[in-house]
Chains A and B, each alone.
Chain A
């Protein structure tokens, strides 16, 4: 595709439910990132995948959060037993780490998660 695609664009869930957020990066991009943007806040790093290397999970706020990247492409961020403080926009980005686009992140439009 032409850009990073995220689904769903909006997700409303009840406290305690599990949610899955999907990210489809730009074809050929080896690096994939998840960030979280809360209202009025900056971007909070969650997790980073690079090729076949072990992911950098240092930003995950609790063990309720997990992510996987299958086949070096699509990624799923899972939040178990959601809490109200999980409400935020979850952003996915990818990068090619090559050429003039080195270290340049391309962001998706995000998933707005609302936990009631």
Chain B
């Protein structure tokens, strides 16, 4: 079985400040981890992924995420938030074997205030 938890429904941050959107996962094998973003009135877009290798993954729009196996976490981070980062963010997981469809978290709404 595989599952993802995003413990925060909403994260508020001031423009220019660092942001973190939390994600923890549960899989019985090795995880492949993803972040997707959904801007208002637009489709879901891929941000970044962790398959293997370096635990710090860099993605689109200056975002990065750190895979922490011991804490089963994959938190999304950005050093300096922009108002345009305001959107709905989804973490997703898939095992390296078995079922091949991503399991998504419930989403976290990021609100960046000017």
- Give residues in A with beta carbon < 8 Å to B: 31, 33, 35, 41-43, 45, 48, 50, 56, 58-59, 91, 93, 102-110
Whether the Cβ atoms of A102 and B101 lie closer than 8 Å is no
Q: Which residue of A lies closest to B108 (CB)?
A: A42
Q: Is the CB of A42 within 8 A of B90?
A: yes
Interface size of B as a range = 20 to 34
**Residues of B bordering A, CB below 8 Å:** 6, 32, 34, 36, 42-46, 49, 51, 90, 92, 94, 99-107
Closest A residue to B106 using CB positions: A42
> Chain A residues near B105 (CB, 8 Å)?
42
| Distance to closest chain B CB from A33 (angstroms) | 6
Q: How far is the CA of A104 from the CA of B35 in the complex (A)?
A: 10
* Contact residues in B for A59 (Cβ distance below 8 Å): 101
